[in-house]
């Protein structure tokens, strides 16, 4: 059997990594440009469906209204995906528009619930909150980015949550200075090898490309926090960060 020198081993590992990084950057650029192009036709589709649902083009039965409402909800979901695709390019190039301010946790919760509704209703999944009920509780954060971070984590959890299941969003005050946000699912959990792959290669929870997870890490970093993942096989996964 032919032998391979140490220098050859280094090259065999290094060259594919450089090609992989270049391919990844090119893919992000193409994805962002495609996302911009998708916005206009998606808006046209959604508004056309809305015209039919509202009866502007004729009478609509209650059953048809339900179907059209569902179609509009799915358009909202697609819009969220498109926004994520655009956001990852801004984060990669270091030009995110961060607008941190003091904001009520209750306000953030309400915006998250509103955004998640189209995702959870079709599968009858309950998103439960534990903590953060105090109306005086405020945090220093970018409300839009924080909402996007939580929504992305919940949509990750949705992929491993069965029909009529539950997802928990837990808020814990730490030393009266920090608030710990955790999204907990009751899916199959992750093995140690999967956790290492997620940490090393940005692989997603479902085993595919980790775009959503990569965005979450960067959104957490914009709030001066790391993204912490804890999981036990057969018991579910908890993903946390702090504000």
Give the per-residue pLDDT at 23.
54
Give the per-residue pLDDT at 153.
93
Give the per-residue pLDDT at 59.
92
Report DSSP letters for the chain, one per residue.
-----HHHHHHHHHHHHHHHHHHHHHHHHHHHHHHHHHHHHHHHHHHHHHHHHTTTTS---HHHHHHHHHHHHHHHHHHHHHHHHHHHHHHHHT------EEEEHHHHHHHHHHHHHHHHGGGT-EEEEES---TT-EEEE-HHHHHHHHHHHHHHHHTTPPTT-EEEEEEEEETTTEEEEEEEE-SS---HHHHHHHHHH---TTSS--HHHHHHHHHHHTTT---EEEEETTTEEEEEEE-
Give the per-residue pLDDT at 169.
97
Q: What is the mean pLDDT of each run of 10 residues along the chain (243 residues)?
A: 39 44 60 76 88 91 87 79 70 70 94 86 89 90 90 89 92 91 92 78 47 79 91 90 95
Give the per-residue pLDDT at 120.
86
The model's pTM: 0.69
């Amino acid at each position: 059997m032919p032998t391979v020198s140490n220098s050859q081993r280094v090259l065999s590992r290094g060259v594919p990594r450089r090609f992989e990084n270049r391919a990844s950057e090119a893919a992000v650029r193409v994805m962002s440009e495609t996302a911009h192009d998708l916005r206009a036709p998606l808006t046209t589709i959604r508004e056309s469906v809305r015209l039919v649902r509202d009866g502007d083009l004729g009478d609509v039965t209650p059953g048809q209204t339900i179907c059209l409402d569902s179609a509009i909800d799915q358009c909202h979901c697609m819009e969220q995906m498109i926004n994520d695709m655009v956001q990852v390019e801004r984060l990669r190039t270091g030009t995110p528009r961060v607008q941190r301010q003091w904001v009520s946790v209750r306000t953030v919760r309400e915006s998250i619930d509103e955004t998640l509704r189209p995702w959870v209703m079709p599968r009858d999944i309950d998103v439960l909150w534990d903590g953060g009920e105090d109306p005086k509780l405020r945090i220093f954060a970018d409300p839009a980015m924080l909402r996007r971070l939580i929504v992305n984590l919940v949509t990750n959890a949705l992929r491993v949550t069965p029909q009529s299941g539950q997802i928990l969003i837990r808020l814990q005050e730490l030393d009266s200075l920090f608030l710990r946000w955790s999204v907990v699912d009751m899916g199959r959990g992750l093995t140690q090898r999967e956790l290492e792959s997620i940490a090393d290669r940005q692989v997603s929870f479902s085993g595919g490309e980790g775009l959503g997870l990569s965005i979450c890490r960067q959104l957490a970093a914009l709030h001066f926090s790391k993204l912490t993942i804890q999981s036990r096989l057969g018991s579910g996964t908890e993903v946390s960060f702090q504000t």
